Structure 1
């Protein structure tokens, strides 16, 4: 008997990705560049950022149109593997 793998998402779907790292002038640009490699253009207003209370960290949230689980897996792998990225949610 073959197990049927249930998907948590119905693709394509809107999907927010939050990336955190040490605050630097180009961190948000870095995150957007990596995401564009996997998702193409990002719509206007899809990117927001927030500095931590102490100003040491920056979180960048990008809302994308996810096309597949494979796309998300590849994106998460590249983001989490980057030396400037502390965490990806």
Structure 2
């Protein structure tokens, strides 16, 4: 019986070097954040976003409660200035215990 070698694994989302980014900076970049329907969650998200985009205007924040009212979806549109800035912002948001999902 001949043995077969499995094909080399290719990641579904290969790492794209920053110089090959499809995003042109600076740009408006929307980020969706889900968490508990609680004002503390909103304040926390705004604080994290302002830390990474000092010009973020909190009044532009969009809110969408879940049908049950238990969760709240926020859309924050930041001024993205670099891939590093976006990566750091995603890490800060997704690492916070009040945040359930970041898209």
TM-score, normalised relative to structure 2: 0.77
Give the 4+ runs in structure 1 shifted more than 3 A.
none
Whichever of the two has the greater Rg, that structure is 2
> Pick from 44, 67, 74: which aligns with 1:53?
67
RMSD over aligned Cα atoms: 1.8
Instruction: Point out where structure 1 has 5 or more consecutive residues left out of the alignment.
Output: none
How many residues are aligned here? 87
CA–CA distance in structure 1, aligned partners of residues 22 and 98 of structure 2 = 29
Indicate the structure whose relative CO is greater, using CA pairs within 8 Å and at least 6 residues apart.
1
Instruction: Point out where structure 2 has 5 or more consecutive residues left out of the alignment.
Output: 1-16
SS in 1 for 2:20: coil
CA–CA distance in structure 1, aligned partners of residues 65 and 22 of structure 2 = 31
> Pick from 31, 50, 71: which aligns with 2:45?
31
Residue 19 of structure 1 corresponds to which residue in structure 2?
33
**C-alpha contact 1:49 1:59 (8 A) present in aligned 2:** yes
CA–CA distance in structure 2, aligned partners of residues 64 and 4 of structure 1 = 19
TM alignment of 1:60-79, pairs within 5 A: 60-79=74-93
TM-score, normalised relative to structure 1: 0.88
